[in-house]
Amino acid sequence: MFTVSQRLASIDVTLLQFIGAIMGATPEPFDLVLFGGTGDLAMRKLLPALYRRHCAGQLPPDGRIIATGRSEMTTPAFLSRVEEHFAETLSDEEFNSPDREDFTQRLSYQQVDASDVIGFDALGTALAGREQVTRVFYLAVAPQHFVTICQQLHAHDLVSANARVVLEKPLGHDLASAQRISEQIGEIFDEDAIYRIDHYLGKETVQNLIALRFGNMLFEPLWRREWVRDVQISVSEQVGVEGRAGFYDRTGALRDMVQNHLLQLLCIIAMEPPASIEANAVRDEKLKVLRALLPLSGQEALRNTVRGQYRAGAIEGAPVVGYQEEDGIERQSRTETFVAIRAELENWRWAGVPFYLRTGKRLQERSAEIIVNFRDVPHSIFDRTYSTGHPNRLVIKLQPDEGVRLHMLAKSPGDRMQLRPVSLDLDFAEAFQQRPADAYERLLMDVLRGRLTLFMRRDELYAAWRWIEPILEAWQESGEPPKPYTAGTWGPAASSALLGRENANWHEEA
Ligand code: BG6
């Protein structure tokens, strides 16, 4: 039997653990080696993310960041590049913070060229004597360098017992290349030391979706085929290829966005409640979703997918060129910049429910959202005008604003029984009055703390490729070019028709 004070003490400990888990404990001392340290990702996302966590007091005093790049450069020269980028990326308040000086003390630069095997000895010298601290190798470089870098790290005896490697996407071009990369890296790093980053999983609303589904009783009974009519996952971008023409033209929207980001969102939406938030418990459930995806190949793939490519048009009034006119893109390129898919899951919870996935560049708006459309009432007792359509939809908005909105019908004031759609809004910015952490802030801290829950496991990666590959093959075999769409629209008309078949529409409300 517990006494009251024992009970209180145990509650305190649980509460502290809970708060610790939410706030995140300060990680152990670390050395973070950033390959691609002068690249776009490092400058625009990774270093600002680390700086913000530094300002929040979450980095231990003994935490060093060693940026590496192929160019020969001194640390002061590197620091002035960082400063230039920070001036562009950070708010004035962040940029002028006295913490910036402190942060730069953590940074140094080291020339390392994986292809010519230059600089690994010097890197070894920089890391020497610190085998006990967490050692992170973050590979923000093109994937063709992943294996060579890992092999060189191993050959130079730099993979200490506490070492982790972070891999940026794309992880392969198809299943075979993903397997090749994973197997070769797997010879050097244990699976638990490999962090495959998908920055969509670090987005605040995605984690909120986990909280919404598994922290509340409300939705769970409704979260199934009996109550859900369809689910839409839509990520639309206004940007074009953004100076990454070579990469994008070889990749296309299916590989660039669907294989990873959209399928990961689908997993979070569709998975069964995991037994805990522990990494493998969550990843096991996500894997089951990927394995339950109804395979799409041949004619079925063509019938259930739409590929598009943008032509010249305008984004918010400003003219933009078509994809084939972009610098560095093949004039006759058949790479898709838009894709829409009708997917289905073969399991008890979701059989028959369409999961519509859509993503594209140069679309009308920048927006990422997940829509759960609930079924209509079986019989309406109200005036027909108000009872058609699908009154209940849950809109989970990832960007540009973050929030959750539940649409329903309510009576409008007055003496008549008139129903009108209204929504219950949860605007995170308003509710928490706190800047939501950028995806990379969260994920980098998870790497430093050794938490794998939000990172993809090897079998998930393979399962995603297994589903994607037959679609790519079907497109290839059909010989059809992608359907053109005007920049600044919502993609090819066939994308609306894909849903129109089932009397559904894309949710396109601002
Ligand atoms: C990246 C893709 O993974 O995600 C880019 O390679 C895309 O093509 C980007 O623009 C979108 O990320 P976000 O966070 O801006 O939606």
pLDDT digits (tens, 9 = 90+) for 216-235: 999 999 999 999 999 999 99
Nearest ligand 1 atom, CA 239: 10
174, 469 in Cβ contact below 8 A? yes
Residues with CB under 6 A from ligand 1: 199, 237, 256, 368
- Using one digit for the tens of pLDDT, what is the confidence trace for 462-487? 999 999 999 999 999 999 999 999 99
Does residue 1 carry a pLDDT above 90? Answer: no
| Ligand 1 centroid to residue 390 C-alpha, Å | 31
Mean pLDDT across the stretch 355-371? 97
Q: Which atom of ligand 1 lies nearest, measured to the CA of 235?
A: 16
The mean predicted confidence, pLDDT, of the chain is: 91
Comparing 76-80, 166-170, 231-235, 290-294, which segment has the lowest mean pLDDT?
A: 166-170
Taking the centre of ligand 1 as the mean of its atom positions, its distance from the CA of residue 165, in whole angstroms, is 21
Is-contact 167 196, C-beta < 8 A?
yes
Predicted local confidence at residue 385, as pLDDT = 62
Smallest CA separation from ligand 1 atom 4, residue: 257
Structure tokens at 1: 């039997």
Q: Whose CA is nearest to atom 5 of ligand 1?
A: 256
Q: How far is the CA of 263 from the centre of ligand 1 (A)?
A: 14
Lowest mean pLDDT segment, chosen from 207-216, 362-371, 473-482? 207-216
pLDDT of residue 151: 96
- pLDDT cut 90: percent of the chain above it: 80
Interval between CA 161 and ligand 1 midpoint (Å): 33
Between CA 249 and CA 451 the distance in angstroms is 34
Determine the atom of ligand 1 nearest the C-alpha atom of 200: 14
How many whole angstroms separate alpha carbon 98 and alpha carbon 103?
9
Give me the mean pLDDT over the 302-315 stretch. 98
Let me know: does 114 contact 35? Beta carbons within 8 Å.
Answer: yes
Q: Is 264 exposed, middle or buried (CB count within 10 Å of its CB: 0-12, 13-18, 19+)?
A: buried
Which pLDDT belongs to residue 386? 55
Query: In 3D, which of 367, 335, 364 has the Cα closest to residue 232?
Result: 367
Residues annotated as part of the active site: 261
Q: At residue 4, does pLDDT exceed 70?
A: no
pLDDT, tens only, 435-457:
777 899 999 999 999 999 999 99
Q: What is the pLDDT of residue 170?
A: 85
204 Cα to the center of ligand 1, angstroms: 16
Question: What confidence tier does 201 reach under pLDDT thresholds 50, 70, 90?
Answer: very high
370-402 pLDDT per residue, tens: 999 999 888 888 876 655 566 899 999 999 988
pLDDT at 7: 37
356 Cα: distance to centroid of ligand 1 (angstroms): 19
Q: How confident is the model at residue 21 (pLDDT cuts 50, 70, 90)?
A: very low
What is the arithmetic mean of pLDDT over 331-350? 97
Task: From residue 241, give the alpha-carbon distance in Å to each of 89, 131, 320, 328.
Answer: 20, 41, 12, 10
pLDDT at 426: 80
**Who wins on pLDDT, 353 or 384?**
353
Provide the CB-side half-sphere exposure for 450 (13 A, CA). 12
Pocket test for ligand 1, best of 199, 263, 337, 366 (most atoms within 8 A of CB): 199
Cβ contact 236:257 at 8 Å? no
Q: What is the pLDDT of residue 253?
A: 98
What pLDDT score was predicted for residue 387? 54
> How confident is the model over 271-285, as a mean pLDDT?
96
pLDDT given for residue 506 in this prediction = 95
Which atom, in ligand 1's list, is nearest to the CA of 248? 8
| Closest ligand 1 atom, residue 237 Cα | 10
Segment 141-170, tens digit of pLDDT: 988 899 999 999 999 999 999 999 999 988
Instruction: Give the pLDDT score at 50.
Output: 98
Ligand 1 center to residue 203 CA distance, Å?
12
Q: What would the mean pLDDT of 305-333 be, rounded to a whole number?
A: 97
- Does the pLDDT at position 71 exceed 90? yes
Atom 2 (ligand 1) nearest CA = 256
Q: How high is the pLDDT of residue 384?
A: 66
- Residue owning the nearest CA to atom 13 of ligand 1: 200
Predicted confidence (pLDDT) at residue 26 exceeds the cutoff of 70: yes
**Does 12 have pLDDT greater than 80?**
no
